[in-house]
Amino acid sequence: MKQNKTKKHSAIALFSGGLDSLLVVKYMEKLGYTIYPVYFATPYMPAQRALEAALDNGINLIVRDISSEHIEMMESPVYGFGKNLNPCIDCHGLMFRIAGEMLEELGADFIISGEVMGQRPMSQRKDALNMVAKLSGYKDLLVRPLSQKLLEDTLPITQGWVDKDDMLDISGRGRNRQLELAKELGIKNFPSPAGGCLLTDKGFSQRIKDLQSHNQFDERNLELLRFGRHFRLDDRAKLIVGRNMAENASLSELSEGLITLKAAEHIGPFAVLNSQDIAEDVLRLALDIFWYYHPKAPDEGKVLLYQPDGSSLEYQAKKTNRETVEKHMLNIQK
Ligand code: SF4
């Protein structure tokens, strides 16, 4: 690879934490560009994985929360959804748009990403890359260094900010060239390709559909989706029961302003009700499902219900049966 120290232009990089985004940042830096890697966080893509990949590879990452814009886009993506609830073309388009809006703030000239032509069936076909570019409103400022030799020239190329000869011509699903480049650039630690976005997960997508069909598709309810077992009790209320200590702690952190449940005299999970507007019979159902998850406790026991103001009420709960649990649990194939 040539090293060019004369280049002065700078770019914002869409950074996911995956290998391709690591490659593109390191590759462009090596060519002499100043790169601002940005991670766009949403409730379905927590920043942790990207932060770890950045830290492991000495990358200074900017994290920008785009939850509200992403939730709005999810209501009706122009190019629809993939196999699950992943609107990849619109999602990339949105990220590029926000990156474009950040150019002035960061004093950068153009935008780069690690997209590889033909790598993903939905979002990285050549026509899909064009759709993404068009949706973003910054079509002429996008450069995809790993595939740019195979793509239409954009302003950074025609203006000579980027030398096309420096760009690569990687395409398709194979990973060999990326792995070679990673070696060349000294990238040692990178996460596996799978496991980034929860919108590609079937169970998570079902939980989202439930929120959408009950008009509860908002940031708080989406945050809660990442933890615990979820039970749809009626049109207004859901019960969420932690599965382990880490989930109990996460649910507790997210429970401000919500009703929570805890066994009065036994060790067990933490639970949250996502609505304060709960009918007596629905609360009874919630308590009995909650008590089902205390396998070592007697069939009946005391549950403390904490109100958002911190006051508590004591209830008697009775373990419900498996059939009722399965009837209300989300993610079970019915
Ligand atoms: S997989 Fe998720 S984060 Fe990636 S483009 Fe698709 S919707 Fe967006």
The predicted pLDDT at position 1 comes to 57
Does residue 195 lie within any of the structural domains? no
pTM for the whole structure: 0.86
Closest atom of ligand 1 to CA, residue 199? 2
- Structural domain contains residue 243: yes
Residue 291 has φ and ψ, to the nearest 5°, of -70, -25
CA of 294 to the centre of ligand 1 (A): 37
Give the mean pLDDT per block of 10 residues along the chain (334 residues).
Answer: 62 94 96 96 88 93 96 94 92 96 97 90 75 92 96 96 96 92 90 76 92 93 94 96 96 96 96 92 98 96 96 97 96 56
Amino acid type, 303: V
By the 8 A CB rule, do 16 and 39 touch?
yes
Q: Which of 64, 74, 92 to mutate to test the pocket of ligand 1 (most atoms within 8 A of CB)?
A: 92
In the 8-state DSSP scheme, what is residue 279? -
Question: The domain containing residue 145 runs over which residues?
Answer: 10-185
Any alpha helices (H) in the chain, and if so which ranges? Answer: 19-30, 48-56, 67-75, 88-106, 126-136, 155-158, 176-185, 202-213, 219-225, 245-253, 280-292, 322-328
> How many domains would you assign to the chain?
2
Q: Using CA positions, which residue lies closest to atom 3 of ligand 1?
A: 197
Mutate to test the pocket of ligand 1, among 45, 79, 129, 222 (most ligand atoms within 8 A of CB): 45
- Using most ligand atoms within 8 A of CB, pick from 200, 202, 204 the residue to mutate for ligand 1: 200
User: Closest ligand 1 atom, CA of 92?
Assistant: 5
Interval between CA 323 and ligand 1 midpoint (Å): 35
Closest CA to 97 of 138, 60, 146, 54: 138
| 67: in domain | yes
Residue 333 lies in a domain: no
Say whether both 176 and 297 belong to one domain: no
185, 217, 237 - which closes a domain? 185
In this structure, the answer to whether residues 75 and 116 fall within a common structural domain is yes
- Asked whether residue 306 falls in the same domain as residue 214, the answer is yes
User: If you take atom 6 of ligand 1, which residue's CA is the nearest one?
Assistant: 88
DSSP summary character for residue 164: G
Q: What is the pLDDT of residues 176-203, one digit of tens each?
A: 999 999 999 999 778 776 567 899 999 8
Structure tokens at 130: 């064009």
| Residue 95 and residue 18 share a domain | yes
Query: Is residue 244 included in any domain, yes or no?
Result: yes
The answer as to whether 317 is a domain residue is: yes
* Residue 269 domain-assigned (yes or no): yes
Atom index in ligand 1 nearest the CA of residue 198 equals: 2
8 A C-beta contact, residue 68 and residue 55: no
Pocket of ligand 1 (CB under 6 A): 45, 86-88, 91-92, 123, 197, 199-200
* 32 and 170, same domain (yes or no): yes
pLDDT in the model for residue 142 = 96
Shared-domain flag, residues 180 and 208 = no
Q: Which amino acid residue places its CA nearest to atom 5 of ligand 1? A: 88
Pair (222, 324) in one structural domain: yes
Which of 128, 155, 185 is where one domain is finished? 185
Same domain for 171 and 104: yes
Q: Which domain-ending residue is among 160, 185, 210?
A: 185
Q: 43 and 78 share a domain?
A: yes
Give the closest residue (by CA) to ligand 1 atom 2: 197
What's the CA-to-centroid distance between 45 and ligand 1, angstroms? Answer: 8
Please name the residue whose Cα sits nearest to atom 1 of ligand 1.
Answer: 197
Q: What is the pLDDT of residue 334?
A: 46
Residues 168 and 269 in one domain: no
Residue 206 lies in a domain: yes
Report the C-alpha gap between 157 and 162 in whole angstroms: 5
Same domain, 245 and 207: yes
CA-CA distance, 334 to 321, in Å (whole number)?
17
CATH number, position 150:
3.40.50.620
Q: Do residue 181 and residue 218 come from a single domain?
A: no
Whether residue 26 contacts residue 54, with contact meaning beta carbons closer than 8 Å, is answered with: no
